[in-house]
Amino acid sequence: MSGTSEQSDRDAYRYAAMISYRHVNPDRRWAKWLHRALEAYRVPTHLCETHRCPRRIGRVFRDEEELAASSDLSANIDEALRQSRFLIIVCSPRVVQSRWVDEEIRRFRVLGGNDRILALLIEGEPNEAFPPAIRELGRNSSPTSATIEPLAADVRPVSGERSTYLRQMAKLRILAAILVVNFDDLRLRERERQHRRLAWATAAATLLLAVMTALAGIALWQRQIAVRERQRTEARFQEVRELANRFLFAFHDSIAALPGSSPARKLCTETAEKYLQVLANENTDDLQLLHELWASYVKLGDIVGNPYSEFGNMGDVRLALRHFQTSLRIAQRLVSQNPGNAILQRDMSISYGKIGDVLRAHGDLSGSLQSYRAGLEISQRLASQDPNNAKWQQDLSVTYDKIGDVLMAQGDLSGAWQSYRAGFEIFQRGVPGLDQFADWQRNMSITYDRIGDVLMAQGNLSGSLQSYRAGLEICQRLASQDPNNTDWQRNLSISYDKIGDVLKAQGDLSGSFQSYRAGLEICQRLASQDPNNADCQRDLSVSYGQIGDVLMSQGNLSGALQAYNAGLEIAQRLASQDPSNIGWQRDMAASWYKLWKLHEQLGNMPESQEAAKAYHQVLSTMKKSGIHLGSDANDVLVELDKMFGEEQ
């Protein structure tokens, strides 16, 4: 079709496409995503010039968006089908059960749209996810082919591919069909544009740093001028403030998921920190400004080094602690000025929790417990003031769980049990509205795991296994609902590992190996999808060690050696990235110890000596750094000192 006739064909329709889907999640979420992605997409300039494509494809019809206030849905749907150039079906095993979607396809075919039906395949195989009207279309197209499908964009998880990449390719495949351009041409032009954007982002960050530094300096200088200049100074100050807020929140979040964006993210956080220092030096009682500063320092801490951050932290635990401590000082100042403000009280409890997280990751259990308990005192007070406030009740439950984690690490099983039970009872009470939070069930599964940890430490293996399996059931349900949710997949692998621990302790080595293996497969998939995610890499290292332990117990020494070496390689890489991370140092020490004993059992004396020496070096370094080793490790260190001499 020529450019002119193609343009005429577009002009004949009110909508570029109509999206048809089953009105349940996750189908609804995918439909909303596709709707936003298609309408927001800007066609590359080169294609607009060479193919006479519009800058945007135009409006996309989705019934929940367009017909929210309509009194005659059936007539409006029929009219939308007439006015839509393409029909896009969100395909899953659930949509096959929808009579309405099937009828919409049949009506579109009657209107002459056989060759303008597109599919977004989100789950299942085509023969179980395509509605009957599409499958009939395939059979009627060619008597010699059992299944001839319409153009299908596929977002189902693929090993080794990032979910963001799959979504991008699916979006481009659908756009190529709507724009009537070659998919490879569109993908090439989009890739060129992304490269230009990343280069621009790095250059813009450098430019913005200079601009903001200059503007901030001007603003601060002008604030010292005569009273007649104050209004102008205030306006300039607000301009800098707004610019930096957009830079930290909007700009960082827009590039965080881009491949190769780490240098730009680092420059972004460094720039934001300099800006925040300028504003923090202002002796102001502006409540809004102070609250913006609090939120900014909390986010900076999460990005640079909080191991529990949603952003994928950059590994600087010490810098994260400094940012969280600054946020706490700001929160305390705000609360002192507004003691009755519950929102500000909650902000202060969040800062205490963030500090506790970082201290725990750094091995300071006593300091972590003190910070968690300070936050708990605030959460208890808020929750008692409003027992029906679901968010405050959830905050209280999470804080109880974190305190239980620290007590467990300190060996206080009774205290950990009491803290976990206190958090669990909040979920059991059924606080109205608590189940509206996306992570409510996830937190409940984690609490089951923590209770199982205490029971196992107390020797109650059957009770521990029962609690772990209750948590596993929740994790399996969540992971199946959203296979691309990394956190839920990680929780599922952890549940498998914990069940493997109990089965191993009960002597069921075969069952233990199967459970560990299920967890390992999840870890391998997550680590390959995001090689820069330190948490996923550590999970994989630990999982290899667990597999090796079972193989050792089964007498498969060669298999155990292979697993231990795979785990050690990851542990060494992580430990070298951040020598101050105690958890990673302990992982590396454990890997060397296992290899030492395994080579000793195999009679490989040179390799055994090498592993023992490496283990000795790691333990010595940890002890000199003030890290508590435990009595068993200390005893081994004394013996190794005799063998190799004390490390200088």
In this predicted structure, the answer to whether residue 429 has a pLDDT above a threshold of 80 is no
Inter-helix orientation angle 317-337/287-305, to 10°: 160
Give the separation between CA 359 and CA 325, rounded to whole angstroms. Answer: 11
Quick one: pLDDT at residue 156? 94
Q: How confident is the model at residue 233 (pLDDT cuts 50, 70, 90)?
A: very low
Residue whose token pair is 């059936």: 74
For residue range 570-594, list pLDDT tens digits in order: 989 888 887 767 778 888 888 998 8
Q: Does 146 score more than 70 pLDDT?
A: no
Query: Do residues 545 and 570 make contact, with C-beta atoms less than 8 angstroms apart?
Result: no
Q: How many CB atoms lie within 10 A of CB 411?
A: 10
What is the residue whose two structure tokens read 């200079």? 210
603: left (phi over 0), alpha (psi -120 to 50) or beta: left
The string of pLDDT tens digits covering residues 532-547 is: 777 788 889 999 999 9
Residue 462 has pLDDT above 90, yes or no: yes
Q: What whole-number distance in Å separates Cα of residue 624 and Cα of residue 642?
A: 17
Give the pLDDT mean for 62-70.
61
Collapsing DSSP states into helix, strand and coil, what is residue 117?
strand
Q: Is 364 exposed, middle or buried (0-12, 13-18, 19+ CB in 10 A)?
A: middle
Rounded to whole angstroms, how far apart are CA atoms 648 and 408? 34
Q: Rounded mean pLDDT of 237-256?
A: 58
More confident residue, 78 or 643: 78
**pLDDT of residue 70 exceeding 50:** no
> 246: pLDDT confidence band, cut at 50, 70 and 90?
low
pLDDT at 394: 82
Integer Cα distance of 413 and 136 in angstroms: 62
Higher pLDDT, 22 or 226: 22
pLDDT at 478: 86
202 close to 263: Cβ distance less than 8 angstroms: yes
- Whether the upstream peptide bond of residue 26 has omega within 30° of 0, thus cis, is yes
Who has greater pLDDT, 307 or 473? 473
Distances (CA, A) of 96 to 70, 287, 573: 26, 54, 47
State the Cα–Cα distance between residues 394 and 444, nearest whole angstrom: 10
Residue 453 has pLDDT above 80, yes or no: yes
Q: Is 153 helix (H, G, I), strand (E, B) or coil?
A: strand
The answer on pLDDT for 64 being more than 60 is yes
pLDDT tens-digit readout, 80-112:
999 999 999 999 999 999 888 999 999 999 999
**What is the rounded distance in angstroms from the CA atom of residue 200 to the CA atom of residue 128?**
44
Q: Which residue did the predictor score with more confidence, 28 or 488?
A: 28
Q: CB–CB of 85/176 below 8 Å?
A: no
Q: What angle do CA 171, 175, 179 make, to 5 degrees?
A: 175
Q: What is the pTM of this model?
A: 0.52
d(C-alpha 99, C-alpha 86), whole Å: 20
Tokens of 188: 């090439």
Using the 8-state DSSP alphabet, how is residue 160 labeled?
T
Mean pLDDT of 205-234: 61
Contact predicate 30/122, CB 8 Å: yes
Q: What is the pLDDT at residue 226?
A: 46
* Distance (Å, whole) CA 446 – CA 468: 9
- Tokens encoding 374: 């300070």
Q: Which one is predicted more confidently, 619 or 212?
A: 619
Helices (H), 338-439: 342-361, 365-385, 390-409, 413-429
For the domain 3-181, what is the CATH superfamily, name and number? Toll/interleukin-1 receptor homology (TIR) domain (3.40.50.10140)
Q: Where are the domains of the chain?
A: 3-181, 530-648
Alpha carbon separation from 561 to 544, 557, 596 (Å, rounded): 10, 6, 10
Fold matches, 3-181 and 530-648: no
Distance CA 361, CA 439 (A): 22
Tell me which amino acid residue 213 is: T
DSSP assignment string, 18-62: EEE--SSTTHHHHHHHHHHHHHHPPPPHHHHHHH---SS---EE-
Q: Convert the pLDDT of each residue in 362-413 to its tens digit.
A: 889 999 999 999 999 999 999 888 888 878 888 888 899 899 989 988 889 8
Using pLDDT thresholds of 50, 70 and 90, give the confidence band for residue 147: very low
Sequence-separated (6 or more) residues with CB below 8 Å from residue 132: 96, 102
**Cβ atoms within 10 Å of 345's Cβ, excluding its own:** 20
pLDDT at 227: 47
Angle at 351 between CA 350 and CA 356, to 5 degrees: 95
| Banded pLDDT at 434 (limits 50, 70, 90) | low
Mean pLDDT of the chain: 82
Q: What is the mean pLDDT of residues 629-634?
A: 69
Q: What is the DSSP letter of 229?
A: G
* CB-based contacts of 350, cutoff 8 Å, min separation 6: 298, 331, 375
DSSP 124: S
The predicted pLDDT at position 145 comes to 39
Q: Between 562 and 256, where is the model more confident?
A: 562
Place of tokens 């936003």: 36
- When pLDDT is averaged across residues 412-432 and rounded to a whole number, the result is 81
Higher pLDDT, 270 or 430: 270
- How distant is the alpha carbon of residue 230 from its chain centre? 45
Q: Name the token pair of 228.
A: 């007649």
β pairing state of 60-61 and 15-20: parallel
Residues contacting residue 227 through CB under 8 Å, at least 6 positions apart: none
Q: Which two tokens stand for residue 625?
A: 């750094």
DSSP 472-526: HHHHHHHHHH-TT-HHHHHHHHHHHHHHHHHHHHTT-HHHHHHHHHHHHHHHHHH
Domain 530-648 bears CATH identifier 1.25.40.10:
yes
In angstroms, the CA 196 to CA 202 distance is: 10
Q: Which of 135, 73, 118, 65 is nearest to 100 (CA)?
A: 73
Instruction: Please tell me the total number of residues recorded for the chain in this structure.
Output: 648
Quick one: pLDDT at residue 375? 93
Position 216 pLDDT exceeds 70:
no
pLDDT(265) > 90:
no
3-state secondary structure (DSSP) of residue 555: coil
Amino acid at 146: A
pLDDT-derived band at 71 (thresholds 50, 70, 90) equals very low
The Cα–Cα gap between 232 and 241 comes to: 14
